[in-house]
A and B are shown apart, each in its own frame.
Chain A
Amino acid sequence: MRCAYVESEDAWLDGLRRGEPGAFDAVFAAYRKRVYGYLVRMTRRRDVAEDLLQETFLRLAQHARSLVDGTRFGAWLFTVAHRLVVSWARAQQVRAQLAGDLPAEPVAPDRSPRDALADSQAHAALERAFAALPPAYREVALLVGVEGMQPTEVAQILGLRPDAVRQRLARARAQLADALGDHAPAAWRAR
């Protein structure tokens, strides 16, 4: 059943609108890692990322029949994931204010022992540098850098102007270059 959905997003869209479980599974398989990676790096917590991943795909299942022609699943899923992260961050802020907590220190996402073993020093430095970016810059950096999206697409997802996205991207790059120091790519250091 799944093979029928390997080729195109349009086929997934048709399948989802018809309520075919194979189409949902194909979209989940294609986007699970990408959305989860974004959620872990935005929330810095694997347990929260798993909950938000489930909520993101729950909403896809709920809205499956009303998806319009030409829907791009990447943009759709990241828009939902972004809104969930914003809501979660607001709830965290309120909780911290009520409890009188200090803001959490930026930390790298929790790592499984296997992931940790596989990490090189440079990878760990990079992960820390991303984690230390302000959330608004980190989000743009992840969507452009990891997801390979264009600033115009990111602007639609975040509800910003493309210029604002480019500005945040430039600032994120500058902060990453400072934070990475010797770990920054050679081309960056030359600029």
Chain B
Amino acid sequence: MTDEDDMREVSRELPALDVDPDAAARIASAARRGRPLRRTIEVVLVVLVAAGFLAWAVMKVLEALR
């Protein structure tokens, strides 16, 4: 037997795991609806703030080097 066969044999004894039906329905529904607009806006804002800070820091470094 190969390591693959061995691993499959022993893994058959592992109990199956599952989310409870309510959680499964909630997860499926949330995934189908997609990411909420608020979350998308949050991500955009964080990226803008980070990019702005980075640009400011680069300008300051360039100023100091002049």
For the complex, would chain B's binding face be called helix, strand, loop or mixed by DSSP majority?
A: helix
Q: How far is the CA of A80 from the CA of B24 in the complex (A)?
A: 18
B7 within 8 A of A: yes
Q: With A123-B13, A126-B14 as known contacts, state yes or no: A32 contacts B31, CB within 8 Å.
A: no
Interface of A, helix, strand, loop or mixed by DSSP: helix
* A binding-site residues for B, Cβ under 8 Å: 21, 24-25, 28, 32-33, 36-37, 40-41, 50, 53-54, 57-58, 60-62, 109, 112, 115, 118-119, 122-123, 126-127, 130, 141-142, 144-146, 148, 150-151, 166, 169-170, 172-173, 176, 180, 184-185, 187-188, 191
Please determine whether B28 and A57 come into contact, CB atoms closer than 8 angstroms: yes
Which of these, A33, A58, A127, A172, contacts B7 with CB under 8 Å?
A: A172
- Cβ contacts under 8 Å, A41 to chain B: 17
Tell me the number of A-to-B contacts counted with CB atoms below 8 Å: 100
| Total interface residues in chain B, CB < 8 Å | 26
Q: Is B30 an interface residue (CB 8 A)?
A: yes
The CA of A53 and the CA of B1, in the complex, are separated in Å by: 34
* Known contacts A37-B16, A54-B31, then 17 further A-B pairs from the complex at CB < 8 Å, ordered by chain A residue: A21-B32, A24-B32, A33-B16, A33-B18, A36-B19, A37-B14, A50-B23, A54-B30, A61-B32, A109-B17, A126-B13, A142-B11, A145-B10, A169-B4, A170-B3, A180-B10, A187-B9
Contact between A40 and B24 (Cβ–Cβ < 8 Å)?
no
In the complex, the answer to whether B18 meets A60 with C-beta atoms within 8 Å is no
A185 and B32 contact, Cβ closer than 8 Å, known pairs A32-B19, A144-B4: no
Provide the bound-state CA to CA distance between A127 and B37, in Å: 40
